Amino acid sequence: MSEILVKAGEKSALRKEFRVSWPTVRNALNGRYTGGVSGKIRKRAIQRGGVEVPKHFNTDK
């Protein structure tokens, strides 16, 4: 799952809007969880100007 980047203050606004904890918002935006409230958080973050970016894997050995 891709990560969603949001502007400063948006995580706080999402936390208050959905009445959830910081880890819930962080995990939703990092793509760890996608169902239920996490999916709603991700959708709302994009509506509020968030940008979805693919996760990059470190290929250095």
Which H helix or E strand runs over 59? Answer: none
Backbone angles phi, psi at 20, to 5 degrees: -130, 175
Residue 58's pLDDT band, with cuts at 50, 70 and 90, is very low
Q: What is the pLDDT of residues 3-57, one digit of tens each?
A: 999 999 999 999 999 999 999 999 999 999 988 999 999 999 999 999 999 877 5
Q: Is residue 60 included in any domain, yes or no?
A: no
Q: Which two tokens stand for residue 44?
A: 């709302």
What is the structure's pLDDT at 22?
96
Domains: count for the chain: 1
Q: Is residue 25 included in any domain, yes or no?
A: yes
Residue 1's pLDDT band, with cuts at 50, 70 and 90, is confident
**Domain coverage including residue 15:** 3-53
8 A C-beta contact, residue 11 and residue 50: no
> Residue 46 in 3-state DSSP?
helix
Q: Is residue 58 included in any domain, yes or no?
A: no
Report the relative pairing of strands 3-5 and 51-53 from DSSP bridges: antiparallel
